[in-house]
């Protein structure tokens, strides 16, 4: 487990467990892990983040185990510490700590935070150590314990992907790779891999059509500032599935946009795809986002990469508030979504979402499509993207949009890969085999205006 070393002194582990339990409790009450970690003391943050990621990946199993060990739900803080310890004790992943160290430290954490429950926590965890085999076997027979996602989510994935649903749910608990995008203005993926090799660091070029020879997967993740050339703009961190957007819209193999074509990136922050578009072509690009704080991150990214765009805060559904009336030659709509394709990277997401969020987000996406389509010049292309594996935010959304358009408005095949699943062979237009597993779940549809 990154950020956690078995040699960490025991008192530090008890404190980390306290903060991890607080983070789990906060996520359970609807706050994002990023927000919670921001309030963690800086010296504890890397360790707490690693423990919280692990706990959230196994939260379903731990919750089922706790229900068997202590059927009456304890008060929230006690429960959070219990499920944290149970998740970290869960067999199957390399254990971050020896079981007895973990139990001792969880009890120390309880003495600090919920002293009256320390004996109870001690008894429950020691019983788990004694009966782990039977409890784990029983828990694996429940959907929550087996798949570690809320039941509504399991049902939706099963309905949307009857062939792949189990693989999709299980792979969502894997550790994601750290993937880089080498700045095409500064070098190739192959040369960056060579440079890393010279430093004794392993990395692989993802050499697939659609990635332009710029995507590199690191052999082992590292802190971003330790990436050679990061500060100088040679490289950025971006999942390989996300790296497909710019190529799909610009089609570098047969470029269709004139230099300085007018392009809208309608949901731009934090700017990964904005920057990629500008690395590949000279564009007059407007980067729009409704969140001014997130928009500031777009500017930071562009500064680092020495790229330029116009930035505006505004609601993509209400162009009257920000559009100057000049049509766009191309539009990227990387719409807000459930993020169901990137749960490996954000293990809190599945616990934060509610079943009715899917329909609410799908409504927003449809409003964005309807509002932006009239802004596209005839002959122009709109790329719709979501980092979701749910059909309601992908295939069904685009089918419904095309139904609302005049006859002749159609997907640009084969440049519209549709759903890219991280668990399987996606055919000729998407990642296959091992490289599929190295990429997040995404949906892409490219539509040409006649």
Ligand X SMILES: C[S@@+](CC[C@H](N)C(=O)[O-])C[C@H]1O[C@@H](n2cnc3c(N)ncnc32)[C@H](O)[C@@H]1O
Q: Can you tell me which of 289, 329, 348, 440 binds ligand X, judged by CB under 6 A?
A: 289
Scanning 169-177, 199-207, 284-292, 341-349 for contacts with ligand X by CB under 6 A, the matching segment is 284-292
Q: How far is the CB of 394 from ligand X (least distance, A)?
A: 13
Please name which of 245, 237, 304, 231 lies closest in space to residue 277, comparing C-alpha atoms: 245
Write the binding mask 309 to 328 for ligand X: x where contact by CB under 6 A, - elsewhere. ------xxx-----------
Q: Is 336 in the site for ligand X (CB under 6 A)?
A: yes
The pair of structure tokens assigned to 426 is 């996606």
- The residue at minimum Cβ distance from ligand X is 267
Stretch that binds ligand X, among 4-12, 154-162, 290-298, 374-382 (CB under 6 A): 290-298
Q: Contacts with ligand X in 264-283 (CB under 6 A)? A: 267-273
Question: For residues 338 and 426, which CB has a smaller minimum distance to ligand X in the complex?
Answer: 338
Residue 294 touches ligand X, criterion: CB under 6 A: yes
* Size, binding site for ligand X by CB under 6 A: 17
Strand 442-448 to strand 376-386: parallel, antiparallel, or no bridges (unpaired)? antiparallel
Rounded Cα–Cα distance for residues 231 and 239 (Å):
19
In angstroms, what is the minimal distance from the CB of 111 to ligand X? 42
Interface stretch with ligand X, choices 35-43, 168-176, 224-232, 286-294 (CB under 6 A): 286-294
For the CB of residue 131, give the shortest distance to ligand X in the complex, in Å: 44
Q: Is 299 in the site for ligand X (CB under 6 A)?
A: no
Q: Is the dihedral of CA 370, 372, 377, 379 positive or negative?
A: negative
Active-site residue, selected from the candidate residues 40, 267, 337, 387:
387
Closest Cα to residue 109, out of 95, 91, 121? Answer: 121
**Sheet containing 215-218, strands listed edge to edge, beginning at the edge strand earlier in sequence:** 203-205, 215-218, 179-182, 235-237
Closest to ligand X by CB, 91 vs 292, is 292
CA distance 384 to 398: 8
Q: Is 387 one of the catalytic residues?
A: yes
Quote the least distance from Cβ 254 to ligand X, whole Å.
Answer: 24
User: By CB under 6 A, which span of 51-59, 77-85, 204-212, 285-293 interacts with ligand X?
Assistant: 285-293
Give the nearest distance from C-beta 227 to ligand X in angstroms: 18
Is 12 or 364 the residue whose CB approaches ligand X more closely? 364
Residues 129-168 that bind ligand X (CB under 6 A): none
Question: Shortest gap between Cβ of 416 and ligand X (angstroms)?
Answer: 18
Choice from 291, 299, 345, 346 touching ligand X (CB under 6 A): 291
In the complex, the residues that contact ligand X under the rule CB under 6 A are: 267-273, 288-291, 294, 315-317, 334, 336
- Give catalytic residue positions: 387
């Amino acid at each position: 487990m990154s950020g956690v070393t078995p040699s960490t002194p025991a008192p530090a582990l008890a404190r980390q467990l306290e903060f991890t339990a607080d983070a789990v409790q906060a996520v359970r009450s609807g706050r994002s892990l990023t927000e919670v970690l921001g309030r963690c003391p800086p010296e504890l943050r890397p360790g707490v983040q690693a423990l919280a990621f692990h706990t959230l990946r196994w939260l379903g199993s731990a919750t089922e185990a706790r229900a068997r060990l202590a059927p009456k739900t304890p008060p929230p803080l006690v429960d959070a510490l219990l499920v944290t310890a149970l998740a970290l004790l869960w067999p199957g992943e390399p254990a971050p700590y020896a079981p007895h160290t973990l139990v001792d430290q969880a009890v120390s954490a309880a003495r600090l935070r919920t002293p009256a429950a320390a004996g109870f926590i001690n008894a429950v965890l020691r019983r788990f150590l004694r009966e782990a085999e039977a409890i784990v076997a029983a828990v694996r027979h429940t959907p929550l314990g087996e798949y570690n996602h809320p039941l509504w989510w399991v049902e939706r994935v099963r309905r949307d992907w009857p062939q792949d649903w189990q693989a999709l749910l299980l792979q969502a608990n894997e550790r994601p790779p750290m993937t880089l995008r080498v700045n095409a203005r500064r070098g190739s993926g192959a040369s960056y891999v060579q440079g890393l090799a010279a430093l004794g660091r392993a990395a692989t070029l993802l050499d697939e059509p659609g990635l332009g020879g710029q995507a590199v997967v690191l052999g082992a993740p590292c802190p971003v500032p330790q990436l050679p050339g990061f500060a100088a703009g040679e490289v950025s961190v971006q999942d390989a599935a996300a790296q497909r957007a710019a190529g799909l819209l610009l089609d570098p193999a047969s470029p269709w946009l004139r230099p300085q074509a007018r392009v809208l990136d309608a949901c731009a922050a934090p700017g990964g795809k904005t920057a990629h578009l500008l690395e590949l072509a000279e564009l007059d690009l407007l980067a729009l986002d409704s969140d001014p704080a997130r928009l500031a991150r777009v500017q930071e990214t562009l500064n680092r990469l020495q790229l330029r765009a116009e930035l505006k805060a505004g609601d993509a559904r209400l162009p009257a508030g920000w559009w100057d009336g000049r049509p766009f030659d191309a539009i990227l709509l990387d719409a807000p979504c459930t993020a169901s394709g990137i749960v490996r990277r954000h293990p809190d997401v599945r616990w934060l979402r509610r079943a009715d969020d899917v329909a609410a987000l799908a409504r927003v996406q449809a409003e964005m499509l309807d509002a932006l389509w009239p802004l596209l010049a005839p002959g122009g292309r709109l790329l719709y993207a979501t980092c979701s594996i749910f059909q309601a935010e992908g295939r069904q959304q685009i089918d419904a949009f095309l139904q609302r358009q005049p006859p002749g408005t159609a997907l640009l095949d084969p440049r519209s890969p549709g759903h890219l699943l991280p668990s399987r062979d996606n055919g000729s237009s998407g990642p296959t085999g091992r490289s599929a597993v190295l990429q997040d779940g995404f949906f892409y549809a490219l539509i040409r205006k006649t």
